[in-house]
Structure 1
Amino acid sequence: MSGKIRKQEFLNFPKFCMILAGIWRMALPTRNTALKKCYLFYSGFVQVFFLSMLCSMCVQFVLVTVDQNGTKDSEKWFKQLSDIIILAVAEFSAVLCQGNKLMEIISYILEEERQILQTGDRETLNFYEKQAKFCRRSNLVLFVLTTGTGSCMILENVQRRFEIEKFNKDHNETVEVQFPFELYYYKLDKAKHGLSVQLVNDISVVINIFIIIATKLIFLSSIMFVPSVLTKLQIKFKKMSTCDEDMARVLVYEHQKVIRFVANLNESIKYMVMLEYLMNSLNVAAVSIQLIRMQGEMVASPMCYLGFLFIQTFVFGWSANEIQMKSLALANAIYTSSWYEQKEKIKRILLLMIVRGQKPLMLTIGPFDAMTTQSALKVMKASYSYISLMINN
């Protein structure tokens, strides 16, 4: 096996991102009490700041909406509404990440990974290594694109503030700087306190990026792990020559365990996935229109964000599709094994597993269709329709 894996791989990077976002709720990789207390304080600050930012944006949005002077820009109004929905989805995902269900999901993955690494079966370990590498690379690409988006937004904030300040100085005016997140600052004069406003906005960008990437990666890694468990079971059945009652009970238990795991995972993320799919089609359209109308300036952050949306949508769809394919392949593996040579009682157990295996395991988009590569394509088709509608109008 090329590149031996000696430790558990799937949750290492998502765990690091969740710690950065302040939403990791299991044991920290340190025994230092002072560090644990600092993390609790940091976690509280991040979550209070993020919630305050969301509330502030909602207040500002309401004020702009009820503005009696009729000066509001419809494009900016739509962008602010879109940002509020994105942040609300991120907050919802962050709450899910700290719930008991996710803790159970994480515990299951860690336990199953240990068992896979202890099997010693070359075929199982080869598939695990391949899946773990793909998971790491997908996580890294999404992390780079997300942090790239945030970094570009911060640099654009600095550039925008200097340009406006120079314009105000040259023309003796007080034009306000427009930042990515339009927050409510009460009576603070944004023109006079540009540096403070920029600092608050930059912190908002950083925290927003941390929470978005942490919530995406933990769910993506959980989805990507399921095919490894199904493959382990599939290989066990393929190599089975004789099967006693104890082995049959173990196989049934393992099969039921992975079925429960997928059901719990789906229950935890299906509504988040539904919101993501609805928003992704609108976001792809909005960012694409923004890029079309740009004259070449400040295109880095929308380009990174567009790449993130594309890759996230298709990787999630492909990974969910793999679960369906592997769960159906498990029934085929049982059927092609020597089940007909077993005792009568064992035969009945294996036949029941074959029947159960005809119903594929799947993740759904809310209470609707299964999440697959086809659903990812539908998102892109919807985005294209929105783009055509916006351009024609």
Structure 2
Amino acid sequence: MLGKLTVRPMLNFSKYCMISAGIWRLPLPTDNPIFNKIYIFYSAVVNIYFPLLVSSMCIQFVIVFIDENADKSSGKLFKHFSYLITLACVEVTTILCQSARVKDIVRYIMEEEERIIRSEDEEFLQHHYEQLHYAKKVNKYLFAVSFGVAVSMAFDNLHRRFQVEKFNRNHYERMVKPLPYELYYFELDREKYDKVLLAISYVTIVVTGFLVASTKMIFISCIIFVQSALTGLQIRFRKVAFSEDYLKRLAFEHQRIVAFADKLNEAMKFLILLEYLLNSMNIAAVSIQFISMDLEFTPIFYFCYLCVQTFTLGWMANEIKIQSLTLADALYATQWYDQRIEVRKLLLTMITRAQKPLVLTNGPFDAMTTESTLRILKASYSYISLMLNNYQ
């Protein structure tokens, strides 16, 4: 059963989410020319529409902030602010996911998994099989919380529209029904085009859900792949008997893993820094909504999404660091004392290299770990206190 694993399964879920979001830049799973043309058109629309969406949301936020007659209640203002931060971060991540560097990373994982599946080591294959299930489980959780926010936004908006419609009917008013998020519509008649704008908003929510989920899952899957490669290497090092040629092959694989982890860090470090800086403000802005707005589902799901995303990234990055250091213990646990002097020298060199941990960094700063996650939460608490003092 282990020898019949599907090729490239670790990225399958992420791949189909990226295709749904229009940001997959490697060959599609079908050669149908009609589907390919439709996808190219859809991808172009997504990549043009979302920068315009973020720009429109930013303009509207500035207008509301400087307009003396605008509703500046803390709940609505911070709700707009949190959406703006999230979409801006998603847009940056979307651009990054379509870069040549990320395409090379994804292509490397695909090629490595094809090579792994051809292995005849049953214990190694079993380990890889377990890591696939682990990656799928994590990705499903990320997908669920991302779309939980999207569904709650649609539900809360329908509830508010129903309340406005009921108010208009009882008081003979013509209040404009709210849309899921605030945008600048360039003097467009909101009441006249309400149904069209509502349909576009809901389609945008769905596509954004795929964008948010896929941009997070692709990097989490890459991190899990590095963890899997490191733990798989430990399994192979712990074999009782190995030759000098076998050890050299494993040493070469270790160098490849180190090079790949460094390349992944180069692709992710400024994204991690961006999330590190913005997530604390975003968690604070969402928390204010709990205090200052009527009970809605969106802040609850949105808070859960931010916490799951932040803790998942910190946990995964910390695991890479731990597993890279544990590799030295696996090397020392071998029967090195029974080997020839050349083998012992090679083992010593590898142990020395394994003393330097593999890390994902916050831009040019320190490593991302679980302690970094706690710092984000502490910063969020400070922002909440500051926001409450300013809006009391």
Q: Normalising by the residue count of structure 2, what TM-score does the alignment of the two structures yield?
A: 0.91
Report 1:224-239 matches (<5 A): 224-239=224-239
1:38-89 per-residue CA deviation (whole Å, 9 max, x = no partner) reads 111111111211122112112223333443x453516234433332222121
The alpha carbon displacement at 1:106 in A equals: 0.9
Q: Which residue of 2 aligns with 1:302?
A: 299
Q: Which residue of 2 aligns with 1:274?
A: 273
Tell me how far apart the structure 2 counterparts of residues 16 and 312 of structure 1 sit (CA, whole Å): 20
1:200-219 per-residue CA deviation (whole Å, 9 max, x = no partner) reads 32222222222111100000
Contact conserved, 1:259 with 1:361, CA < 8 A, in 2?
yes
1:171-220 per-residue CA deviation (whole Å, 9 max, x = no partner) reads 34343334342111112222343223322322222222221111000001
Q: Which residue of 2 aligns with 1:336?
A: 333
Structure 1 portions without partners, runs of 5+: none
Tell me how far apart the structure 1 counterparts of residues 18 and 199 of structure 2 sit (CA, whole Å): 23
Tell me how far apart the structure 2 counterparts of residues 335 and 220 of structure 1 sit (CA, whole Å): 30
The alpha carbon displacement at 1:286 in A equals: 2.1
Range 126-135 or range 43-52, more displaced: 126-135
Contact conserved, 1:124 with 1:231, CA < 8 A, in 2?
no
User: Which letter does structure 2 place at the counterpart of 1:363?
Assistant: L
Contact conserved, 2:156 with 2:297, CA < 8 A, in 1?
no
The alpha carbon displacement at 1:16 in A equals: 0.8
Q: Which residue of 1 aligns with 2:99?
A: 99
User: Which letter does structure 1 place at the counterpart of 2:290?
Assistant: L
Report 1:211-230 matches (<5 A): 211-230=211-230
Contact conserved, 1:112 with 1:229, CA < 8 A, in 2?
no
User: Which letter does structure 2 place at the counterpart of 1:9?
Assistant: P
Inter-CA distance 192–38: structure 2 relative to 1 (3 Å threshold): closer
1:47 aligns to 2:47 (yes or no): yes
Contact conserved, 1:10 with 1:221, CA < 8 A, in 2?
yes
Q: Normalising by the residue count of structure 1, what TM-score does the alignment of the two structures yield?
A: 0.91
Q: Which residue of 2 aligns with 1:25?
A: 25
* RMSD over equivalenced CA pairs, Å: 2.4
Q: Which residue of 2 aligns with 1:145?
A: 145
User: Which letter does structure 2 place at the counterpart of 1:252?
Assistant: A
Tell me how far apart the structure 2 counterparts of residues 116 and 301 of structure 1 sit (CA, whole Å): 42
DSSP 3-state at the match of 1:108: helix
Q: Which residue of 2 aligns with 1:262?
A: 261
Contact conserved, 1:139 with 1:217, CA < 8 A, in 2?
yes
Q: Which residue of 2 aligns with 1:288?
A: 287
User: Which letter does structure 2 place at the counterpart of 1:81?
Assistant: F
Structure 2 portions without partners, runs of 5+: none
Range 206-215 or range 19-28, more displaced: 206-215
Inter-CA distance 95–125: structure 2 relative to 1 (3 Å threshold): same
DSSP 3-state at the match of 2:118: helix
Tell me how far apart the structure 2 counterparts of residues 120 and 136 of structure 1 sit (CA, whole Å): 24
1:374 aligns to 2:371 (yes or no): yes
The alpha carbon displacement at 1:129 in A equals: 2.8
DSSP 3-state at the match of 1:31: coil
Contact conserved, 2:80 with 2:182, CA < 8 A, in 1?
yes
User: Which letter does structure 2 place at the counterpart of 1:312?
Assistant: Q
Tell me how far apart the structure 1 counterparts of residues 325 and 222 of structure 2 sit (CA, whole Å): 19
Tell me how far apart the structure 2 counterparts of residues 357 and 308 of structure 1 sit (CA, whole Å): 35
Contact conserved, 2:154 with 2:180, CA < 8 A, in 1?
no
1:91-120 per-residue CA deviation (whole Å, 9 max, x = no partner) reads 111111111111111122122222333323
> How many equivalent residue pairs?
389
4+ long deviations beyond 6 Å: 1-4
Inter-CA distance 107–2: structure 2 relative to 1 (3 Å threshold): closer
Inter-CA distance 211–242: structure 2 relative to 1 (3 Å threshold): closer
1:321 aligns to 2:318 (yes or no): yes
Range 5-14 or range 357-366, more displaced: 5-14
User: Which letter does structure 1 place at the counterpart of 2:235?
Assistant: I
Tell me how far apart the structure 2 counterparts of residues 79 and 152 of structure 1 sit (CA, whole Å): 14
Q: Which residue of 1 aligns with 2:136?
A: 136
Tell me how far apart the structure 1 counterparts of residues 254 and 104 of structure 2 sit (CA, whole Å): 17
User: Which letter does structure 1 place at the counterpart of 2:61?
Assistant: F
Identity %: 45
